């Protein structure tokens, strides 16, 4: 369990002006409120709000968010009232805790996808303050990380499904890509453990074949783009996540043996003309994979998304996916509309 001083030190590392006294008071308040309550894991219940708060420090959130995370289950699960919260921590914190409590009460009420869509809309409308949503997402992340302790399999499945349909989708919409990936993969492990295991094993095999050498591939692409007059192009490489690979296998009907591309690259340049220039340089160097080229610059997606997508047999004959876009397109794609 994370100690009080560890939490404080972490916050101070990115926010030296954080209100240490307020955080300490919230820590003690929540600890006393949850008292002897236990989690399904047998851990003291209080370890949960502390873990949620700690996850928010990874996002460098402000004092009020951290305090809200510490208090987030007190109104729902203990004798504490919103009036108590306001008296102790002020109006701002009361508002935030109230928001999280309301969202928690909506859970488990979305049986089909139509309801899930309504639930998502409701969540967004109810969380006028983005911090409410972030506390809720961190709450769900920790609950997913400890899901295995819940004994009822149907309950685990329902929570995992809700996580994909609602929370991961929300995280994506507000541009929290890392959170989205974590939530999806944790849910994937619960919903389709065998499929996930097969993908993870295949990824290990491909990695051993050198198919995931990100740095080397980035530097080769960088050289080719520099030769083509684009020395300033930014190149980002990442290994794909098991869940997104699974989604793609499903929609494209790919078998595990056929699964070959596990890394993806993004090239960010200054303007649209440079996008096509970069695409030309890539296609001149490596064989393209038929049917993989999509021009979402001349024909944007309905949500406004723009990029060039292609896939080539890259260095070492390993299949790689590449997206090419301008800085402005990048901001839109990452941050949402
Ligand atoms: Mn909670």
Distance 114 CA to ligand 1 centre (A): 25
pLDDT in tens, 190-213: 999 999 999 999 999 888 887 778
Minimum mean pLDDT among 100-109, 122-131, 136-145, 309-318: which range? 122-131
Q: Which of 9, 76, 197, 334 is catalytic?
A: 76
Tell me, rounded to whole angstroms, the distance of Cα 39 from its chain centroid. 24
Residue 333 is predicted with a pLDDT of 75
The CA distance from 61 to 64, in Å, is: 8
The CA distance from 233 to 231, in Å, is: 6
Is the pLDDT assigned to residue 55 strictly greater than 80? Answer: yes
Residue 254 is predicted with a pLDDT of 80
pTM of the model: 0.82
C-alpha dihedral over 155, 161, 164, 165, to 10 degrees? Answer: -120
Distance 17 CA to ligand 1 centre (A): 27
Distance 308 CA to ligand 1 centre (A): 41
Distance 234 CA to ligand 1 centre (A): 39
Whether the Cβ atoms of residue 66 and residue 22 lie closer than 8 Å to each other: no
Q: Residue 337 — very low, low, confident or very high, per pLDDT cuts 50/70/90?
A: very low
Is the pLDDT assigned to residue 241 strictly greater than 60? Answer: yes
What is the rounded average pLDDT for all residues in the chain? 90
Distance 201 CA to ligand 1 centre (A): 33
Residue 126 is predicted with a pLDDT of 66
Q: Which of 77, 84, 239, 295 is catalytic?
A: 77
Active site residue 76: yes
Active site residue 227: no
pLDDT in tens, 298-313: 999 887 889 999 999 9
Other Cβ atoms less than 10 A from the Cβ of 72: the count is: 27
Q: Hey, what are 329's tokens?
A: 């397109």
pLDDT in tens, 272-291: 999 999 999 999 999 998 88
């Amino acid at each position: 369990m994370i100690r009080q001083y560890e939490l404080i030190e972490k916050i101070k590392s990115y926010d030296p002006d954080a209100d240490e006294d307020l955080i300490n008071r919230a820590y003690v308040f929540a600890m006393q409120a949850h008292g002897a309550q236990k989690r399904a894991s047998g851990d003291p219940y209080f370890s949960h709000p502390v873990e949620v708060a700690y996850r928010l420090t990874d996002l460098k959130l402000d004092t009020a968010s951290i305090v809200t995370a510490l208090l987030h289950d007190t109104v729902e699960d203990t004798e504490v009232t919103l009036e108590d919260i306001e008296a102790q921590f002020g109006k701002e914190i009361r508002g935030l805790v109230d928001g999280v409590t309301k969202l928690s009460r909506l859970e488990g009420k979305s049986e089909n996808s139509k309801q899930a869509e309504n639930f998502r809309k409701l969540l967004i409308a109810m969380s006028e303050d983005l911090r409410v949503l972030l506390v809720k997402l961190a709450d769900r992340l920790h609950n997913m990380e400890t899901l295995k302790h819940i004994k009822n399999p149907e309950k685990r499945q329902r929570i995992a499904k809700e996580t994909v349909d609602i929370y991961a989708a929300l995280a994506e919409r507000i541009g929290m890509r890392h959170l989205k990936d974590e939530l999806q993969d944790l849910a994937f492990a619960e919903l389709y453990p065998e499929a996930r295991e097969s993908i993870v094993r295949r990824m290990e095999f491909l990695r051993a074949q050198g198919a995931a050498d990100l740095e080397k591939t980035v530097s080769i692409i960088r050289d080719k783009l520099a030769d083509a007059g684009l020395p300033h192009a930014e190149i980002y490489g990442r290994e794909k996540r098991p869940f997104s690979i699974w989604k793609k296998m499903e929609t494209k009907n790919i078998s595990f043996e056929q699964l070959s591309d596990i890394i993806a690259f993004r090239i960010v340049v200054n303007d649209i003309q440079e996008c096509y220039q970069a695409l030309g340089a890539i296609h001149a160097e490596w064989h393209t994979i038929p049917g993989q080229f999509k021009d979402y610059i001349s024909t944007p997606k309905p949500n406004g998304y723009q990029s060039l997508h292609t896939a080539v047999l890259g260095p070492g004959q390993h299949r790689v996916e590449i997206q090419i876009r301008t800085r402005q397109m990048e901001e839109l794609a990452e941050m949402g509309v």
